Amino acid sequence: MGRADNTGRDAPSTGAPEKTVVDQPPPEPDYPRYRVEPGSGTVLAGVDPGQTEHYRKKKEVLKELEAQRRRIGDLQERLYAENEQGLLVVLQAMDTGGKDGTIKHVFGGINPQGCRVSSFKAPNPEEANHDFLWRYHKSAPARGRIGIFNRSHYEDVLVVRVKGLVEESVWRERYGLINEFERNLSRSGITVLKFFLHISRDEQKRRLESRLADPDKRWKFSKNDIKERAFWDDYQAAFEDAINECSTGHAPWYVVPANKKWYRNLVVARTIADTLEAMDPRFPPAEQGLENVTIPD
């Protein structure tokens, strides 16, 4: 991988962070299995949304999740201090897939100053008058920062395709434009990581039912979610293509089994922590001659 613009350092191998942070990738936990290698063909059918490796219940992962959160917090501090590289985390999922819960549980331990969450709904009139990448580019993280996209530029090849909001020739061309956009970010020192939180159709039904049944969750329920559910297969096909077309060495997609929320959180946290470690952010050197400095009374 080439040298990132202006950063004076080689961009990390984000396509395989585990190879950078350990000599021998451990046999388990084995999250690289969820990374989509460029050109690997059918992806969603190959990942069981209910999978949890050897873990059986939430209790078994809580300590490790906490350790991963701490790693993310420590590495984020270095990233901020170094101010040369940034990280963009893209979260996509079917409705109820757990984007909000992932943000809450994975990033709970980091300094809010160095991190920004951007959520994308249908474009407002101003956004719609620009090229489709405009609003995403504006929200991309600066060097030193972590940006989290709750929905993202991928909506423009997902909902836009499923709902026929533009012609096929237009959304098809966007795969290439998205790859170039992410390549540009990566060349500027911004590492891009993309997660598809993969739930099953049955699990979505359970989650919608529980939102409906629980008065404290009912505010999250939207009748529109039922309408969208009818397009399940179309959305899955759109995700399949987007992931296949846009999983690249510089900006990989991960398909994360997400029926079990605790396992989903663990996989995402582990991947982000290892990627940040592979980026190897360093505290800047201290000023010269500090040994003799005393603080006046």
Residues found near ligand ATP in the complex (CB under 6 A): 95, 100, 120-123, 151, 155-156, 159-160, 220, 222
Q: Which is nearer to ligand ATP, 136 or 263 (CB)?
A: 136
Q: Which is nearer to ligand ATP, 80 or 195 (CB)?
A: 195
Q: Which is nearer to ligand ATP, 120 or 232 (CB)?
A: 120
How buried is residue 87: exposed, middle or buried, by Cβ count under 10 Å (0-12/13-18/19+)? buried
Closest approach, Cβ 128 to ligand ATP, in A, equals 8
Closest approach, Cβ 95 to ligand ATP, in A, equals 6
Closest approach, Cβ 160 to ligand ATP, in A, equals 5
What Rg do the C-alpha atoms of the chain give, in angstroms?
20
Q: Which is nearer to ligand ATP, 57 or 217 (CB)?
A: 217
Closest approach, Cβ 83 to ligand ATP, in A, equals 31
Which of 150, 134, 59 is CA-nearest to residue 102?
150
Please say whether the beta carbons of 168 and 62 come within 8 A. Answer: no
The partner residues of 6 in beta bridges, in order of sequence, read: none
The residue with its CB nearest to ligand ATP is 155
Closest approach, Cβ 31 to ligand ATP, in A, equals 24
Q: Which is nearer to ligand ATP, 80 or 171 (CB)?
A: 171
Q: Which is nearer to ligand ATP, 159 or 237 (CB)?
A: 159
Closest approach, Cβ 98 to ligand ATP, in A, equals 9
Task: List, edge to edge, every strand of the sheet that includes 253-257.
Answer: 115-119, 146-150, 86-93, 190-198, 253-257
